[in-house]
Amino acid sequence: METRLRKIGNSRGVIIPAQLIERLRLSDTVELSVENEALVMRSTTPQRQGWFDNYDPGQDDMPLEGFIDDADDQADWEW
């Protein structure tokens, strides 16, 4: 994808398309670095941060109890 550097005061900026922001899960702050002569941008938010913030094991969507307890299902398994 090619884009233009835009003048912002004495600096330059790049508009990042919304699809890339969503795909990379970028937050309001990012980390910039140079690697192999390329500008690299990384999210400062860990990828899986917050996944279990509201997790309640008592409200599991699909409990494992009884998952393979059916005799017909177990007959197909090789133990």
Spatial separation of the C-alpha atoms in residues 79 and 74, rounded to whole Å: 9
pLDDT value of position 74: 62
Instruction: Return the residue matching tokens 């900026």.
Output: 13
- Decide the pairing of beta strands 11-13 and 6-8: antiparallel
Domain boundaries, the chain: 16-45
Q: What is the pTM of this model?
A: 0.49
**Tokens standing for 29?**
């702050």
Query: What's the pLDDT tens digit per position in 3-43?
Result: 899 999 999 999 999 998 888 888 888 999 999 999 998 88
